[in-house]
């Protein structure tokens, strides 16, 4: 089989989404409408199509982000809509797509690529490392009391989606600037993905609602959620489904979650994609009632190891020499100091690029990776020093699957 990888243009962009759409059931007549939240914000020239003759059998896209890492934002490729038709699996199509995409990301000068994996076993062989974990909660309102009284002097107001862009972006940008794993959202992104509510995306739930919490007229927190009404045997069985809740301060975060946990007529509150250090774990009185369940988060690929290390800040003084193995992007297969320079000095640690991706945002420590056999200590004490250097104050958080 001969497969050609080329940039999709015009109508071929939607055709390149058909392979992944096959698995999501969105490859038919309604595909154009249902992929609008992707196609309207995919930059031109960043969708790849794999063709066998005239037939597109695979595709992959990449958004252009500024991703927050320890130290500030860096350009990153937000990899998305990667798929190969089941008729062409196990023929190397995915590998060719990843080859072309990572080469293009490298040429663009983006030091990182980041993605959500529908199947976690796929991307390690292309140098991606699991870089964060997320938490889901499912709590009954009756067991959602806080351990301490809430101190909050602000006000909450319901905001129509078509008026929500300003206050939501103001809060989000403040939090994203200091939280590893969060990425920049353009106005177009907000309008296409967060502030729309087509019926087919409700999955039988209620309309998307928006509440903004303010102090002296300044937005400090917001929540996007659905109130899914229901009664069983005369008793409320409704669920408040939290899509995204963000607070710009600890007090605002506590207040917006108190609002969500107190919505009348609801029996339960459910949320997903929360960071592992979410304040709810210490706010609520009866922690086991949260039903906090851990799942995988984003995967990070250091496309340019030197540039990525140079862009990152470190929590302690000192340096390390990292012997990085990278069989898929050979320009990274070298020894690096933390300022991003290549060196011939003896290495302190040896690790593959996927393990470095796992540690890069602070989601996993070097010590954890070493205990899992993913990092080899070559100089005594190097793992401990690496943990001090790569330590972060916040767990990485990416609140949206893209």
Domain ranges of the chain: 4-110, 134-294, 305-390
Nearest CA among 370, 387, 373 for reference residue 320: 387
Q: From the candidates 222, 360, 364, 402, which is the catalytic residue?
A: 402
pLDDT tens-digit readout, 359-378: 999 999 999 999 999 999 99
261 neighbors 147 (Cβ within 8 angstroms)? no
Q: Work out the average pLDDT over 229-241.
A: 89
213 neighbors 262 (Cβ within 8 angstroms)? no
Res 9 pLDDT > 90: yes
pLDDT tens-digit readout, 337-346: 999 999 999 9
The whole-number pLDDT of residue 30 equals: 61
Q: Which tokens belong to 210?
A: 């928006």
Res 192 pLDDT > 70: yes
| Homologous superfamily of the 305-390 domain (CATH) | SCP2 sterol-binding domain (3.30.1050.10)
Q: Work out the average pLDDT over 205-212.
A: 96
Q: From the candidates 63, 65, 123, 222, which is the catalytic residue?
A: 123
N- to C-terminal Cα separation, the chain: 31
The label of the residue with tokens 């937005």 reads 219
Q: What stretches of 183-304 show up as alpha helix (H) in DSSP?
A: 187-189, 250-261, 280-283
Res 238 pLDDT > 70: yes
From CA 185, how far away is CA 169, in angstroms rounded? Answer: 8
The pTM for the full model equals 0.95
CATH number of 4-110: 3.40.630.30
Q: Is 172 a catalytic residue?
A: no
pLDDT tens-digit readout, 275-293: 999 999 999 999 999 999 9
Query: Do the two domains 4-110 and 305-390 of this chain adopt the same fold?
Result: no
Q: Is 402 a catalytic residue?
A: yes
Q: Work out the average pLDDT over 384-394.
A: 97
From CA 185, how far away is CA 400, in angstroms rounded? Answer: 11
* DSSP H or E stretch at residue 219: strand 218-228
The whole-number pLDDT of residue 110 equals: 98
* Residues pairing with 69 in the sheet: 72
Residue 329 burial (CB count, 10 A): 20
* Residues pairing with 155 in the sheet: 214
pLDDT tens-digit readout, 81-123: 999 999 998 899 999 999 999 999 999 999 999 999 999 889 9
Mean pLDDT for all residues in the chain:
96
> Torsion angle, CA of 174/176/177/180, rounded to 10 degrees?
150
From CA 347, how far away is CA 334, in angstroms rounded? Answer: 10
235 neighbors 262 (Cβ within 8 angstroms)? no
Res 27 pLDDT > 70: no
Provide the pLDDT confidence category of residue 171 given band limits of 50, 70 and 90: very high
How distant is the alpha carbon of residue 160 from its chain centre? 26
Res 170 pLDDT > 70: yes
CATH number of 134-294: 3.40.630.30
């Amino acid at each position: 089989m001969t497969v050609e990888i080329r940039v999709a243009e015009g109508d071929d962009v939607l055709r390149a989404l058909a392979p992944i759409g096959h698995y999501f059931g969105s490859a038919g007549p309604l595909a154009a409408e249902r992929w609008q939240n992707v196609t309207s914000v995919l930059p031109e020239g960043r969708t790849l199509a794999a063709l066998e003759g005239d037939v597109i059998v695979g595709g992959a896209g990449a958004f252009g982000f500024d991703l927050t890492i320890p130290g500030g934002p860096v350009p990153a490729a937000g990899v998305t809509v990667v798929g190969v038709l089941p008729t062409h699996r196990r023929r190397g199509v995915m590998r060719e797509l990843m080859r072309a995409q990572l080469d293009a990301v490298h040429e663009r000068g983006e030091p990182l690529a980041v993605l959500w994996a529908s199947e976690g076993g796929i991307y390690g062989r292309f140098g991606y490392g699991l870089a964060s974990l997320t938490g889901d909660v499912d709590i009954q309102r009756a067991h959602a009391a806080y351990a301490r009284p809430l101190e909050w002097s602000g006000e909450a107001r319901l905001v129509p989606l078509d008026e929500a862009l300003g206050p939501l972006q103001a809060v989000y940008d403040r939090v994203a600037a200091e939280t590893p794993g969060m990425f920049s959202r353009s106005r177009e992104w907000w309008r296409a993905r967060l502030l729309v509510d087509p019926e087919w995306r409700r999955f039988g739930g209620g309309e998307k609602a928006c509440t903004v919490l303010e102090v002296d007229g300044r937005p400090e927190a917001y929540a996007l959620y659905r109130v899914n009404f229901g009664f069983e045997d005369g008793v409320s069985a409704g669920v408040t489904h939290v899509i995204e809740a963000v607070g710009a301060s600890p007090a605002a975060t506590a207040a917006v979650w108190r609002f969500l946990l107190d919505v009348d007529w609801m029996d339960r509150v459910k949320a997903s994609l929360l960071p592992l250090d979410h304040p709810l774990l210490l706010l609520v009185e009866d922690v086991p009632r949260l039903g906090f369940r851990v799942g995988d988060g984003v995967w990070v690929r250091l496309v340019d190891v030197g540039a990525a290390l140079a862009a990152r800040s470190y929590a302690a003084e000192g340096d390390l020499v990292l012997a990085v193995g990278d069989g898929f992007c050979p320009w990274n297969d070298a020894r690096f100091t933390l300022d991003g320079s290549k060196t011939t000095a003896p290495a302190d640690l040896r690790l593959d690029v996927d393990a470095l991706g796992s540690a890069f945002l602070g989601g996993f420590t070097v010590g954890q990776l070493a205990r899992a056999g993913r990092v080899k200590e070559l100089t005594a004490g190097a793992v401990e020093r690496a943990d001090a250097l790569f330590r972060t104050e916040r767990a990485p958080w990416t609140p949206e699957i893209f």
